[in-house]
Structure 1
Amino acid sequence: MAAEDETQTTAKSAEDRKAASALASLDADESAGTNNVDHDAVSKAMKALGGASKGAAGTGSSTKNVKVDPADVALLVEELELPKPKATELLKSHEGDAVKAMRAYIAA
């Protein structure tokens, strides 16, 4: 609990305090053995930390307007045993670069 107090006092903005609080509540839930996780709070906390909003390993690019080669999707489906939507999302989050996407997936 001392870590929670330290985190909250060192947080500089309200958003940082919210993120720290969400992460602290995750730790409390995990130690209690419950699976009731506020996914929105987790997403916001990860975004504040620079994690989840960037995809699997993070490039920070938008996934909406990235064109991916169907051959690259097929490659990821075959080699990483991913479903097509997940492979497409992974490629989009890495600017359509199959090598970056595969390295990020393996490193995660």
Structure 2
Amino acid sequence: MRRMKPQGRILFAFTAVILCESSAQAETDYAGIARQALGEVIRPGYSALAETTGSLSTEVQDLCQQPSSAALKDAKDAFAASVGAWSKVEILRFGPVTQNQRYERLFYWPD
């Protein structure tokens, strides 16, 4: 049977120590991560979506009531802002967006 060279033993011992240390430090604060995501990403993202879709509704109503090139541009800009806001939260597949097919209704396109 072959014996391990001294360099191999040192490398093996070093690797074992590193692996043991990293597993001991693997304690993750999942609740803290969730709170941070909620406060910094989820709520602000949905607030921005609500604001931009509210503006979109207003701009489309204005376009329908008084069609013009300027009103069309405003409606397109509001649509682009809404798409941008949605793209920041569309990855979230939990919470109120899953109720009453809200998620799917955002993707509905009439045939």
Q: TM-score scaled by structure 2? A: 0.28
Question: Higher RCO, 1 or 2 (CA under 8 Å, sep at least 6)?
Answer: 2
Normalization by structure 1: what TM-score? 0.29
The structure number with the bigger radius of gyration is 2
